[in-house]
């Protein structure tokens, strides 16, 4: 996932490992001394739906017990203009929901200790019945007994697929709220 993020930013990930000493991970990104040019997102060509997704601004509760995945997903979403609330566990995510914070979409990992993403989705929907939930998973099939009807985002996921799922979840939520 980190390699993919580095490549999306025209950078690179370098891993160097020495037996008995450890591994060093370096992220390389392009640098310039020129100021960033102003960019009007609405005028960009709509490629893979990314421009549409940038026009959609949502508050996304991202839940993952892996700090690296949590932060990289959050940075990706923030870079695309979304507001992000991070939670490192299902219990932490439920605290956010109980506190009444605005959340448009819940994006949760499936495999987490103490509370799976499916269990979190069930508890979250008990608090907010129409909250869109996206389940991120590296499993080809969920374990037996996990049967749940949630949109699934296969890990590792690409930026365009993540944005497509968020757009779909928000649009479905809006149509459920309006009765359509």
Neighbours of 4 (CB within 10 A): 15
CA angle 66, 169, 127 (to 5 degrees): 75
When the candidates are 3.30.300.130, 3.90.1300.10, 3.30.590.20, 3.40.50.2300, the CATH number that belongs to 49-177 is: 3.40.50.2300
Q: Given CA atoms 97, 1, 169, 55 in this order, what sign does their dihedral have?
A: positive
pLDDT bucket at 95, cuts 50 / 70 / 90: very high
Query: Is residue 17 over pLDDT 50?
Result: yes
The answer on pLDDT for 41 being more than 50 is no
How would you write 30-95 as a 3-class SS string? CCCCCCCCCCCHHHCCCCCCHHHHHHCCCEEEEECCCHHHHHHHHHHHHHCCCEEEEECCHHHHHH
Are 87 and 63 contacting, i.e. CB atoms less than 8 angstroms apart? yes
Distance of CA 97 to the CA centre of its chain: 17
Where along the chain do its domains lie?
Answer: 49-177
Nearest to 63 by CA among 108, 120, 33: 108
Crossing angle between the packed helical segments 90-98 and 117-127, to the nearest 10 degrees = 10
Q: What percent of the chain has pLDDT over 90?
A: 29
H or E segment and range at residue 133:
strand 133-137
Which range is most confident: 55-59, 76-80, 93-97, 112-116?
93-97
44-69 residue pLDDT tens: 434 444 444 446 788 999 999 999 88
């Amino acid at each position: 996932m980190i390699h993919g993020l580095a490549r999306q930013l025209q950078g690179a990930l370098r891993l160097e490992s020495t037996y008995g000493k450890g591994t060093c991970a370096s992220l390389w990104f392009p640098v310039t001394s020129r100021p960033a040019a102003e960019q009007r997102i609405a005028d960009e060509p709509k490629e893979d739906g990314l421009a549409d997704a940038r026009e959609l601004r949502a508050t996304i509760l991202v839940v993952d017990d892996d700090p690296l995945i949590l932060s990289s997903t959050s940075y990706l979403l923030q870079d695309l203009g979304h507001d992000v609330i991070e939670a490192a566990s299902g219990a932490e995510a439920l605290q956010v929901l109980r506190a009444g914070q605005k959340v448009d979409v819940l994006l949760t990992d499936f495999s987490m200790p103490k509370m799976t993403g499916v269990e979190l989705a069930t508890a979250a929907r008990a608090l907010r019945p129409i909250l869109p939930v996206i389940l991120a998973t590296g499993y080809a099939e969920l374990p037996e007994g996990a049967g749940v009807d949630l949109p699934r985002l296969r890990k590792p996921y690409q930026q365009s697929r993540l944005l497509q799922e968020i757009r779909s979840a928000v649009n479905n939520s809006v149509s459920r709220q309006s009765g359509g």
